[in-house]
Each structure stands twice: as C-alpha cells, then as structure tokens.
Structure 1
Amino acid sequence: MNFKMLSMGAMALAMITGSALAGGSTGTSALDDPAKMAPFFTDPGMKTMRSEAEFKTAWMAMKEEDRAGMMKECGDEAIAKSHDNFCKMTKQLGGAN
C-alpha cells in the first residue's frame, strides 16, 4: 500500500511540475514576473520600490484584470509575505480608480 501511495504521489508531482514548466512562467505568481513587476521598482533586482506617486501611476496604468489578479495573489499569505511592501501598497491603492 505504501509503495502504491508513493508511486501515485510521484506521478502527481511529475504532472504538476511538467505543466508548470510547459507554462513558461518565471515564478509561482504574477508577482514573480519581472516584466509585470519592473514598473514598480527602481532597480533591475526589484529591491527598491518607487515612490508612492510613481507606484500609483504604474498601478493605474495596468489593466483592471491585472490589478485584480495581483490583489488576489496578495491575499495569499505565502505570496504576500514574500512581496510584503508591494502587497501593502496594492492594498492601499486597491480601491483607487
């Protein structure tokens, strides 16, 4: 029984990993995508956030669906923890239109 469970777990992991690799994603979320996140940071390493005014300009320049997706991802505790300052700013601007 243990071997069967182990085999099924390994097969599930292989399928999940394969589909993630096929998607070509650069990370686990949009918040890990350098192309989407670059407008919010002053440096290529994305360590220094832009000023609040610049952040708001970049935030409002995004499509509504992209903002909603990022807000949803910031609702995930693990993602929000690794993107703490960004998520704090999105929550402040979430209702701004």
Structure 2
Amino acid sequence: MNIKTIFLGAIALSMVSGAALAGALDEPDNMAPFFTDAGMKTMKPEADFKAAWGAMAKDKQDMMMKECQDAAMSKPHAEFCANLMMYAGHK
C-alpha cells in the first residue's frame, strides 16, 4: 500500500512541477502576436513588435519581462528576449 501511495504522489508531483515549468514565453497565445508566421520563426519589425507589446495585458507583460530577466527561462527564447528588452523593456 505504501509503494502505491508513493508512486501516485510522485506522479502527481511530476505533473504539477511540469505545469510550473511552462511559462509565459512557452504559451503560443502570448508569443504569436510578435511573429509573422504560424511557426513563430520570424519576428515582426520593431513598430509591429512594440504595437503587439502595447496591446498585451499588463500582467502578461510582467510575466514575460520576469522570464526574460531569468537566464534559465530566457535561454530558449534568447532572440525574442533581446528584442523585448530593446524594444519594450526600456520605455
């Protein structure tokens, strides 16, 4: 019985921690306004990037800025974060 409880607890913990790892930068709905293509490979020009940033809710902006300032979180999104800091981070 204890092994079953431990196993179920480990599964639940891994599910919760896995959801916590996905941040604002990993949400396609948050990132799509900044890209010209559905595959999110080509970023929009500066004016459009700034417009997308300005149209975003303040809480999402705060989450994205926080993640871009975290080296581990921003690593997969380095180019995006560099643009975010350049275009939107220093108003």
User: Normalization by structure 1: what TM-score?
Assistant: 0.73
- How far residue 72 of structure 1 moved from its aligned partner, in angstroms, is 0.3
Taking structure 1 as reference, are residues 88 and 15 closer, same or farther at Cα in structure 2, changes over 3 Å only?
same
Gaps of 5+ in 2: 1-5
- How far residue 13 of structure 1 moved from its aligned partner, in angstroms, is 4.6
Is the aligned partner of 1:18 residue 2:20? no
Residue 56 of structure 2 is matched in structure 1 by 62
After superposition, the CA RMSD in angstroms is 2.5
Moved over 3 A (4+): 10-13
Gaps of 5+ in 1: 1-7
The size of the alignment, in residue pairs, is: 85
Amino acid at match of 1:37: M
User: Normalization by structure 2: what TM-score?
Assistant: 0.77
Larger RCO: 1 or 2 (CA < 8 Å, sep 6+): 2
Taking structure 1 as reference, are residues 64 and 45 closer, same or farther at Cα in structure 2, changes over 3 Å only?
same
Structure 2: distance between partners of 1:54 and 1:60:
10
